[in-house]
Structure 1
């Protein structure tokens, strides 16, 4: 006897041809992810990050020293400016 054949849009034994084809074929192969290799440059990368952070710390310390050297009058002006910006004038309609 011959195997049941399907015509386009036909049925064999109550099942459609596409259902027969799906059930008899194995699932398609899936790509495998590559194996994870050890990070050979991790120490150098971390050392570079630490060096970059130390450089940023140096810049920030320089800014702090500069701000500490600012004249007290400039600080007072800044405080007044910040206060005026934060509190709206009651005589100006909103």
Structure 2
């Protein structure tokens, strides 16, 4: 199943810079591993915000929740999830 996930990150203003950088580095490594294995298909930055719009390809809502809840920045995110399905007019055969 495909899911669109919008993640808005809100780190505390008083978080030490070293801690924030460490979290961001660990998050980047985890996201790239998920992209390499095909679960995190697309990652798009939202211009002007510390936010992204992503597409995940997972077995269902439970797997998506498990992945999202283990992201290092999860405690600092506001997340919106939308289930997606292939549009009949799409010309891309790899959309499922």
- TM-score w.r.t. the length of structure 2 is 0.24
- TM-score w.r.t. the length of structure 1 is 0.25
Structure ranking higher in helix proportion: 1
Answer with 1 or 2: which has the greater Rg. 1
Structure ranking higher in strand proportion: 2
